Amino acid sequence: MSKIAWIYPGQGSQAVGMGVDLKETKTATALFEQAEKILGWSVLEKCQGDEEQLSQTLYTQPCLFVIESILTDILVEKGHLPDLVAGHSLGEYSALYAARVFDFETGLKLVKKRAELMDQAAGGKMAAVMKFDREKLESLIINTPDLVIANDNSSEQVVISGTPEAVDTVLPQITAKRVVALKVSGAFHSPLMQDAAEQFQQILDSVSFNDAKVPVLSNVDPTPTTNAQTLKTRLIQQMTGSVRWREIMLQLPNEEITQVIEVGPGKVLTGLVKRTCPDIDLKNVGTLADISQ
């Protein structure tokens, strides 16, 4: 029997024009209107506007959550349901929405606050490292204060995060095919986000979570659970904890997943799954036309 996982991309997958084709549907119209009341600005306008502005954390994260939520609801309306969900960083909020852990309004309010806190973060630096010596990198990180692997995306790709001094000290010592400094001001998914995480926890503590309708693989703990309190605890830890995406992908065959559908713009996550789990069938749903196929 085939089992399907829906996975949701995070910041970095945004693109000008995303979601515009959805606006003709009743589902999208309702959620776009609701989002504008919550955010105080139009997601559609941002998605059709300036690329630089859309790439600002403050706008990127809510826009992605709204587009991914709309795609999720349209899939459900057409009779599609997942057996398991997961999301990369911001995408975990979309995954929790898909699992009906919270409703659209609750999810977007959480994402709005998260985006604001992360947008205000300063004093950090992040860099992506491709095709590297993992043993050497892990050794360097152990011996360098204020530096962590923020995103363990695959066996060949990670993102390191920490103080500018720590990142700049380690980068020249890394043996890698490619290193790219990311355009962010904060050290996301590191202990340096502790102040923001504490502020965010106060918001999360006031929100009720439901048990998930399907198991969720969380960023900080890639073991499946449907328990509401466990999922909330993991979400609190996510802001300072590493995104363990490589382990999430390796868990998919253990859960007997035969197909993965990336719900949202781009094909970053399916690209990673293809190289990590070559036997899993892959599909991307980023537009209305993709759902109809």
| Phi (first) and psi of residue 273, to 5 degrees | -65, -40
Beta strands, E only, 72-132: 84-87, 125-132
DSSP class of residue 210 equals P
Angstrom distance (rounded) from CA 75 to CA 252: 21
Angstrom distance (rounded) from CA 32 to CA 22: 10
Question: How do beta strands 281-285 and 259-263 pair?
Answer: parallel
Angstrom distance (rounded) from CA 122 to CA 193: 9
Angstrom distance (rounded) from CA 212 to CA 224: 10
Catalytic residue among 13, 69, 89, 190: 89
Angstrom distance (rounded) from CA 188 to CA 5: 26
| Phi (first) and psi of residue 84, to 5 degrees | -165, 150
| Phi (first) and psi of residue 162, to 5 degrees | 175, -160
Angstrom distance (rounded) from CA 196 to CA 286: 31
Beta strands, E only, the chain: 4-8, 84-87, 125-132, 147-154, 157-162, 176-181, 216-217, 259-263, 281-285
Give catalytic status of residue 189 as yes or no.
yes
User: Residue 256 corresponds to which amino acid?
Assistant: E
Angstrom distance (rounded) from CA 5 to CA 14: 21
C-beta of residue 224 within 8 angstroms of C-beta of residue 247: no
Which residues are annotated as catalytic? Answer: 89, 189
